[in-house]
Amino acid sequence: MSLFRRTSEGPTPLRSRWRFLPIAVLTAGVIVLAAVLYLIFVGLERDTWQIRSEYRDNVPWYANQIERELLVFVQKLDSYHMGDGGVTRDDVTERFDVFWSRIYSADAGNVGNIYIRFEGAEALLDEARRALRDIEQTVASLKPDDAIAHHLIKARLEGLSERFHRISLMASHQQNQEMTLHFDRMAQAHNMLMMIFAGVLTGGAILIGLILVEIRQIGALRDSLEQRVRDRTRDLRDEIAQRQQAGEALQKSEARFRDFAGAASDWFWELGPDLRFSYLSERFEQSTGISPQQVLGKHHDEVSRPDTRDDVWIGHVEDMNAQRQFRDFRLVHMRDDGTTVHVSLSGTPHLDEAGRFSGFRGTGTNITEQVEAERALRRSEERYRRLVDLSPDGILIHAQENIVFANPAAVRFLGARHSDDLIGRNLLELIDPKHHKATKLHFKEILARGREQPQIEQILVGLDGRSFPVHSASTRLPREGARTILTVFRDISRVARIDDSSRSAS
């Protein structure tokens, strides 16, 4: 049995309802016990007070004294008459006066009021007072040998003694009855107190036993709770350690991400669900020179001037509307000073906790220098292409002796109609077989040493069968391939004919 409900398992409504029942029962018991004890002690106090009143008033003694004074007076009277004991008339009158005082004050005061209520007491006192007044003069003038006076006095008092004695007995009897009643009630109260005392002792012992059991159970519960607390503390410590490790890993991951993102991009940006810029990191302005206030809250097409008919732009709009990830979408921002900034944006859609689309997040990179470099490269390529196309010398690019490029001069010299007639063809097919060996050695030197070799003279054979001498110079193009070689050749047949003519003329 448990005095108190366990709380570790959580109170149920039923338990909550009866939770304070033991305390309520104990409280009610204590109140009832206190009330009973109060009533008992009030009764005891009342009986004690009444017993003390009985002793204090001592009405039986009071009544007995009246009777006794009468008897003593009569005794003195007889002794005076008989001449015994040296009793004088003063002694007789003194006893008469004492008896007189008893009779005349018998009904006075609290004690007298009790005395007078006894049956016949009032009439007896009246009778005694009349008798005393009747014999007063006789007593005052009484002589020892006055037998008649003596007889008259005694005759007048005759019968009073028995009546006073009867009242004295009534007073004693009544006091005995009342005392018996008081003592019976006190005995009952005493017995009840003993029973209560025994009950309290028994109940106290039971309560102490229950409390000891409860203390033991609470101790066990406390040990269990302490164990749970220790386990939970250990779990929490482990969890904290894990979280700390996870946090450190997260910090490392974030740092790594920042490093990667920073290396791959210049700034971060966010678009809201309305596809307007809602966030730009600080580096945006540093990188582009454009104030974020010019961009935030605007669409892509408001911060740049796209060609809405461009396929790239149309594809980008479709990606965004379809909430698809996009990469390297290029925009051109206008600065306040009229200059432009080329940026590359990569983004991915993000969702809120409810899974709803909430915009795009991504990175941006200033690619202005890259765009300008590309443009410059394209311009340079154009210039070189034109230079190659307009060159009077034949230019061939061949990999492992297979031709991959031929400029118009080479096409023309080698009797082809189009460069495609030459591309894919083995260069050795266009060289006089007498020079094959020297040519292969020459190309090998070029590939091995990696630098230009002195011009050589060769005899080329065109597709039309025409052979003509050329001066050629070759160099390796490492960026085009491991064995790619650029060869520039010049038809020297006209020079050779001039030389032959000069020698003939001379």
Site residues for another protein per CB under 8 A: 52, 55-58, 65, 68-69, 72, 94-95, 97-98, 100-101, 104-105, 108-112
Among residues 57 and 270, whose Cβ is nearest to another protein? 57
Least Cβ distance, residue 181 to another protein (angstroms):
19
Candidates 104, 102, 98, 79; CA nearest to 89 is 79
Least separation in angstroms between residue 112's CB and another protein is: 7
Residue closer to another protein by CB (options 66, 331) is: 66
Strands (E), 242-315: 267-271, 277-280
Do 491 and 413 contact (CB within 8 A), yes or no?
A: yes
- Residue 109 Cβ vs another protein, minimum distance, rounded to whole Å: 4
Cβ distance to another protein smaller for residue 77 or 461: 77
16/101 with CB nearer another protein: 101
CB of 215 to another protein, least distance (A): 49
Q: Are 289 and 341 in contact (CB under 8 A)?
A: yes
Give the dihedral sign, CA 432/434/435/441. Answer: positive
Residue-wise DSSP of 313-352: HHHHHHHHHTT--EEEEEEEEEPTTS-EEEEEEEEEEEE-
Q: What are phi and psi of 357, to 5 degrees?
A: -65, 130
Q: Residue 94 corresponds to which tokens in the numbers above?
A: 């003194």
Q: In a 3-state reduction of DSSP, which class is residue 159?
A: coil
For 484, the enclosing helix (H) or strand (E) is strand 484-491
SS3 track for 133-154: HHHHHHHHCCCCCCHHHHHHHH
Smallest gap, in angstroms, from Cβ of residue 102 to another protein?
9
CA torsion sign for 123, 125, 126, 127 is: positive
In whole angstroms, the minimum distance from the beta carbon of 78 to another protein comes to 17
Q: Helix 21-57 crosses helix 59-82 at what angle (to 10 degrees)? A: 10
Question: Cα-flanking dihedrals φ and ψ of residue 362, to 5°?
Answer: -175, -170
Task: State the minimum distance, in angstroms, from the CB of residue 38 to another protein.
Answer: 24
